[in-house]
Amino acid sequence: MFKGVRQSKITQKIIEQIRTAILQGKLKPGDKLPSEKEMVELFQVSKQTLRESMRALEYLGMIDVRKGIGGGAFIVEVDIEVTKQSLANYLYFKHMTIQDLSEFRKLIEPYAAHKAAQQISPAELEKLKALNDCARENLRQGDAQAARRDEFDFHRYLAELTHNPLIVLILDFAEGMLDDFKKIVQPDIAFFKDVLASHDRIYEAISLGDAQNAHDEMYDHVVAVGDHLAKLKEGFDLRKLYT
């Protein structure tokens, strides 16, 4: 499965070989890599070089290095949080604004609402309603922070209902950035009441199976939220979320 590597970019080449073996299905979550001694011989590298490669793979979320009896390097399924960190690292250098984020949401979130209206189950619909009910109670108590979490969960759950892992990942990341931005600008209770009213309309359209109306309500909601937040912090560079 593995072969020796040349001296230039040794660590990168070790990583590429193990990553390729995982993507080709030769290594699966739960599988244990050969011992350190065996891999040193397989790759024909020093222990230090191999350990650097293992640390990099662990940082990428592709292996879990365990100590003690029965320990070693095990293949794991990459966690969504690790992937979102990589996306954040990439976008840090792109001077992204809240308008950019809003533009992306306008493309994807109305589709998620449209699809939910077409295929949501009674149990899923009940959970969606519960998220709105929870937000309503938190707003009644004047807890904007809790209402913000409920709002985030509403959008994330609609993404999950698409059963599309790419949409789930990207929307989870986008909503997370939006949530971090709200922590900075701290919109008032009136903002969250408007959000809840929009969520109620989206929920109503989904509950009626009205896919087009669900799409349109979500689109209007995303536009309104984006415009409001942009005015609160005009020209804000989202890179500041990570500094």
Residue 105, pLDDT score: 95
3-state secondary structure of 198: helix
Report percent pLDDT > 70 for the chain: 93
Using only the alpha carbons of the chain, give its radius of gyration.
23
Residue 242, pLDDT score: 61
Q: How far apart are CA 177 and CA 97, in angstroms?
A: 11
Q: How far apart are CA 228 and CA 174, in angstroms?
A: 17
Q: Supply the pTM of this predicted model.
A: 0.76
Phi, psi of 46, rounded to the nearest 5 degrees = -80, 165
Residue 67, pLDDT score: 87
pLDDT category at 3 given cuts 50, 70, 90 is low
Q: How far apart are CA 23 and CA 197, in angstroms?
A: 44
Tokens, residue 10:
């040794």
Q: Which of 54, 70, 69, 63 is nearest to 30 (CA)?
A: 63
Tokens, residue 31:
């599988």
- As a whole number, the mean pLDDT across the chain is 89
Residue 235, pLDDT score: 64
> What is 10-75's CATH topology?
Arc Repressor Mutant, subunit A (1.10.10)
The per-residue DSSP string of 60-119 comes to TTSEEEE-STT-EEEE-PPPHHHHHHHHHHHHTTTT-BHHHHHHHHHHHHHHHHHHHHHH
Least confident interval from 151-155, 219-223, 235-239: 235-239
Residue 219, pLDDT score: 98
Q: Between 42 and 93, where is the model more confident?
A: 42
pLDDT category at 233 given cuts 50, 70, 90 is confident
pLDDT category at 79 given cuts 50, 70, 90 is confident
Q: Mean pLDDT across the stretch 124-129?
A: 96
- Helices 165-185 and 80-91 pack at an angle, to 10 degrees, of 60
The per-residue DSSP string of 41-76 comes to HHHT--HHHHHHHHHHHHHTTSEEEE-STT-EEEE-
**Is residue 119 pLDDT above 60, yes or no?**
yes
pLDDT category at 177 given cuts 50, 70, 90 is confident
Superfamily of domain 81-242 in CATH is GntR ligand-binding domain-like (1.20.120.530)
Domain ranges of the chain: 10-75, 81-242
pLDDT category at 114 given cuts 50, 70, 90 is very high
Q: How far apart are CA 163 and CA 11, in angstroms?
A: 36
Q: Comparing 10-75 with 81-242, is the CATH topology the same? A: no
Q: Mean pLDDT across the stretch 71-84?
A: 87
**Is residue 240 pLDDT above 90, yes or no?**
no
Q: Mean pLDDT across the stretch 120-144?
A: 94
